[in-house]
Amino acid sequence: MNVNKNSYTIGFASIMVIIVAALLAYASILLTPYQDRNIELEKKQNILQSVGIEVERDNSELPYSKYIKEEIVLNDNGNILDGSAFDIDLGDELKKDIKNQKLPLYISMLEDSSKYFIIPLRGKGLWGPIWGYIALKEDINTVFGAVFAHEKETPGLGAEINQTFFQEPFKDQRIFNEDNEFVSITVKKGGAPEGSIHAVDAISGGTITSDGVTDMIKERVSRYLPYLEKNKPVVNDTLVSVNLISKVDE
């Protein structure tokens, strides 16, 4: 058999492509349900992590239904729409214009009846998407916890954003400054200044991923400002006015 004839070459290539395509398509159909299940359980695990509840991925179902009380969907004016936050794919939403985006928000109530607002995050890392969840305390200013994940950041460098040592410093950071302006939280290359409440340390060698986290928090949380303003506890407002008065006195 002459394997160098053009007809043979074309025939070989066609058959190979068909076999490979069929094989991969079949494998994908067969495995997708398992993969989706893993992703769903991990999402629940991540959401729980942001309010400080550590569970195994396979056991995240029960605690999730226990502690996550509301899964609401907002528009960019902060009004509540129909639907469940859990069904929203942020990756798809981010492709839309902000006016048409649906903003998912989770509200958690823990055993001590403390209430947390969990904002899902999604942005760009170096190689692919990064995402996470940031939980705000009832004062809608202080961070209670943050968790980050990534698809394919560089192992040992950018990929470290999913590690505790990176996520831990986000606790007790504030997203508003003293003048009640939204300043977000910056991941600072070279290290955040001592005692900083709006910045945390970046990862050495993972600058682009670290910057991605900064941009992601700023962009995502700012979309929720209309809703957050509406839900700010009154106590905070008085504090602000006290601040203003003392400034006038000076």
Partner 1 sequence: MSREALFSKKNKLLLTDPLDDNNPITVQVLGICSALAITVQLEAAVVMALSVLFVLSVANVIVSLMRNLIPSRIRIIVQLVVIATLVILVDEVLKAFVYDVSKELTVFVGLIITNCIIMGRLVAFASANPPWESFLDGLGNSFGYGWILVAVAFIRELLGSGTLFGYPVLENLGIYEHGYENNGMMILPPMALVTVGIIIWIQRMRNNKLIESN
The strand order across the sheet containing 129-136 reads 80-81, 68-74, 103-109, 115-124, 129-136, 143-150
CB of 194 to partner 1, least distance (A): 19
Q: Is 14 in the site for partner 1 (CB under 8 A)?
A: no
Question: Phi/psi of residue 94, each to 5°?
Answer: -65, -20
Encoded tokens for 220:
């995502």
Q: List helix spans (H) across the chain.
A: 6-50, 61-67, 90-95, 164-167, 207-223, 225-231, 234-249
> In which residue are the tokens 């002459």 written?
2
Q: Is 191 in the site for partner 1 (CB under 8 A)?
A: no
Site for partner 1 in 201-230 (CB under 8 A): 204-205
Residue 26 or 80: the one with the smaller Cβ distance to partner 1 is: 26
> For partner 1, which stretch binds (CB under 8 A), given 103-111, 130-138, 148-156, 228-236?
148-156
Does residue 180 sit in helix, strand or coil? coil
Q: Is 34 in the site for partner 1 (CB under 8 A)?
A: yes
Number of residues near partner 1 (by CB under 8 A)? 31
Instruction: Tell which one of 14, 35, 59, 100 touches partner 1 (CB under 8 A).
Output: 35
Instruction: Tell which one of 44, 102, 150, 220 touches partner 1 (CB under 8 A).
Output: 150
Q: Is 23 in the site for partner 1 (CB under 8 A)?
A: yes
Instruction: Tell which one of 16, 18, 25, 235 touches partner 1 (CB under 8 A).
Output: 16
Number of continuous H segments (helices) and E segments (strands) in the chain: 7, 8
Q: Is 81 in the site for partner 1 (CB under 8 A)?
A: no
Site for partner 1 in 231-250 (CB under 8 A): none
Q: Is 22 in the site for partner 1 (CB under 8 A)?
A: no
Site for partner 1 in 43-72 (CB under 8 A): 57
Q: Provide CB contacts within 8 A for 10, sequence distance 6+.
A: none
Does residue 169 sit in helix, strand or coil? helix
Instruction: Tell which one of 69, 96, 115, 152 touches partner 1 (CB under 8 A).
Output: 152
CB of 38 to partner 1, least distance (A): 4
Distance, CA of 117 to CA of 135 (rounded, Å): 5
Residue 44 or 150: the one with the smaller Cβ distance to partner 1 is: 150
Q: Is 177 in the site for partner 1 (CB under 8 A)?
A: no
Give the number of other CB atoms < 10 A from CB of residue 106.
25
